[in-house]
Structure 1
Amino acid sequence: MVTVRLRPLEEADLPVFEHAYSTRDGAGEHQWFGFSPPGRGLAEMGALGPHGGRLTVTADDRAAGSAFWFRREWGPAETSWCWEVALHILAEQRRRGLGTQALSLLTRYLFDHTLAWRVQAVADAANTASQRMIIRAGFTREGVLRAAQWREGRRHDQVLYSLLRDDLPPQP
């Protein structure tokens, strides 16, 4: 079994992710939003911050992808916010169960270290693999966000999922 962990983004990760996300094949058909400026640093790549962050997903101590989170508001900012999470697993690491493990670790991390009551995830309506992964991590499907994302010249429907603090099983 592969050991999946999350750790802070490091300078050594930047070229790996820069290369991986620089093409449609590397980013994946549901996450290709076009080219990004080259040479981005830790802050620009989304290292830890008060309104979100990025951790490196490792598999057997080697970088295997990124786990992201950012703040979403559903009303007054003080009382009606949650984290939205996203993953990007490197193309050569996909279909090994790393995403499910990483999403579960990230969700637990956010509930353990922030006051968030809700964590949500969104998947492209055509990305059934991501939808299955999100459900395996314990999330509940809430509905479809019609034409919510602009990508590759057209609008795409997204499926919204959530996990509430009360939904988490007790830790052993």
Structure 2
Amino acid sequence: MAWRSIQTGGPEIGCLEIGILLFPEHRGQGQGTAAQRLLAQYLFATTLANRLQAITNIENIAEQKALERAGFRREGVMRGLAFDGGRWHDGVLYARLRHDPA
């Protein structure tokens, strides 16, 4: 897991982008959801961030479900975002605000 500040014109670290990578043998056990939920709680408790966001490949349905279970809301599709495997892929943007229900 990792996070980085995204500049949005507001206070510094008002928006943080998070990311996660699980080894295949640990997928499908709820660990990603739990880790993202705990990270969101930690970041909201220890920073001034108002918004956390995450982007995933549009084909990564498991990660989309994990983000939703961790309290993130789907905000939209980012067309042609990433080039991988010889072709362009769309991404899906998710976000959770400080006062959103968990």
Aligned counterparts of 2:25 and 2:54: Cα–Cα separation in 1? 23
Q: CA deviation at 1:152?
A: 2.2
Matched, 1:69 2:3: yes
Aligned counterparts of 1:127 and 1:87: Cα–Cα separation in 2? 13
Structure with greater contact order relative to length (CA < 8 Å, sep ≥ 6): 2
1:166 matched residue in structure 2: 99
Matched, 1:83 2:11: no
Aligned counterparts of 2:50 and 2:101: Cα–Cα separation in 1? 11
Aligned counterparts of 2:27 and 2:7: Cα–Cα separation in 1? 31
* Pairing of 1:22-101 with structure 2 (within 5 A): 67-74=1-8, 76=9, 78=11, 81-101=14-34
Can you give the 5+ residue segments of structure 1 that lack an aligned partner in the other structure?
A: 1-66
Whichever residue aligns with residue 77 of structure 2, its letter is V
Runs of 4+ displaced beyond 3 Å:
77-81
Whichever residue aligns with residue 113 of structure 1, its letter is T
Native 8 Å contact 2:5 2:13 kept in 1: no
**Largest Rg, 1 or 2:** 1
Aligned counterparts of 1:93 and 1:158: Cα–Cα separation in 2? 23
Give the total of aligned pairs.
Answer: 102
Q: Percent identity?
A: 41
Question: Which digits, 9 at most, give the CA deviation of each residue in 1:7-30, with x for residues without a partner?
Answer: xxxxxxxxxxxxxxxxxxxxxxxx
Aligned counterparts of 2:14 and 2:5: Cα–Cα separation in 1? 7
1:151 to 60, 66, 84: 84
Q: With structure 1 as the length reference, what TM-score do the two structures score?
A: 0.56
Q: With structure 2 as the length reference, what TM-score do the two structures score?
A: 0.91
